[in-house]
Amino acid sequence: MSTQQTFEPTGTIHMSPVGRLERILLKTDGTADGQAAETLAIELCARSGAALRIVFPVSTAAWEMMILPGTAPPPGEEGEAHLAKLKAEAESRGIPCETVLATIDDPSEAIIKEARRMQADLIVKQRGWMGEPARLLVGGGAGRITGRANCPVLIVRSHSKMWSRIVLATDGSRSSDAATVMAAKFAKLTGVPVTVLSIKVSSHSERRQAEARPIVERAVAYMKQEGVEADGKVESGLVDEIVIDASEDGEPLIVLGALGRTGFGRVILGSKTERIVNQAKGCVLVVG
């Protein structure tokens, strides 16, 4: 059972940190499944004026397990050709672009290192990719990157297109504040409205559940202060199920923080977030 309410802003709302979008890192493996991530990354750069670095990680161990010797060219050759094609496409739109072909046993490690080296403001990756060993596919690979990245990670579902709205899931944590800033940034870049969602969890205390409405009020007020069309709602139930259900209506961009409110910051990049990443109908932006 759920309840829905709309809130109006009161006073000036401050969120931290400032959501910058000056350097974007795109992870690609050259497969058809990665085309949506490539398209979205280039489009976000074009709209924001961000520079782009494209990383093509090559896991030689995974390649050797999947491909019989002599049946296909070395992965580096295909990678170089694909990077050159993407670089030309980005530069044709006036986007500063660099490319990196990274040969490494752990492709996720290559993404983390490059993101830190360039001080990336955003990592864009497809939801699952052939360069990762089977144990890292889909949620696992996403979790390894989002759990260690120093910036938000946009996880793109195959065949996803630019979203027509954004759903921000917030619990009032500092991580959710950062997610709120990024949701507003993405809303302004793409010209779409935001629905702010907070969830009453039955296992929480009554006091904690009562905080859901003011949490939503604050985030909606910030959105409107930033010139973003926004509404808010409070629902009751399981976090992952409600967020996944929200993605059914038009495949919006789902934005959520990576840390919850327990202790010094409980990492929620476990089963709930992995399930959201795996089952949401559209893209998911995880903000640390």
**Which tokens in the block code for residue 71?**
């049946």
- The string of pLDDT tens digits covering residues 5-45 is 444 444 555 444 456 889 999 999 888 889 999 999 999 99
The tens digit of pLDDT for each residue in 85-130 reads 999 999 999 999 999 998 877 778 888 889 999 999 999 999 864 3
Domains of the chain, residue spans: 23-156, 166-287
CB 114 within 8 A of CB 53: yes
- Give me the residue label for tokens 């670089």: 87
Dihedral in degrees, nearest 10, Cα atoms 37, 227, 3, 263: 70
Residue 145 banded pLDDT, cuts 50, 70, 90: confident
Residue written as token pair 């046993």: 105
Buried b (16+ CB within 10 A) or exposed e, 73-112: eebeebbeebbeebbeebeeeebebebbbbbbebbbebbb
Helix axes 271-279, 239-246, angle to 10 degrees: 20
CATH number of this structure's domain 166-287: 3.40.50.620
Would you identify the CATH topology of the domain 23-156? Rossmann fold (3.40.50)
Distance of CA 39 to the CA centre of its chain: 15
What is the distance between the alpha carbons of residues 244 and 66, in angstroms, rounded to a whole number?
A: 33
Range name among 53-57, 147-151, 187-191, 236-240 with the lowest pLDDT average: 147-151
Residue 272: Cβ-neighbour burial (10 angstroms; 0-12, 13-18, 19+) = middle
If you average pLDDT over residues 201-208, what whole number do you get? 82
Rounded-to-integer distance, Cα 137 and Cα 173, Å = 29
Exposed, middle or buried: residue 151 (CB in 10 Å: 0-12, 13-18, 19+)? Answer: buried
Kindly give the pairing relationship between strand 166-169 and strand 51-58: unpaired
For residue 173, give the amino acid letter. Answer: S
State residue 132 phi and psi, 5-degree precision: -90, 140
- Return the pLDDT at 207: 84
Q: Is the pLDDT of residue 275 over 90?
A: no
Per residue in 205-255, pLDDT tens?
788 888 899 999 999 999 999 999 999 999 998 888 999 999 988 899 999
Mean predicted lDDT score pLDDT of the chain: 81
Q: 174: which 2 tokens?
A: 């500092």
pTM metric for this prediction: 0.82
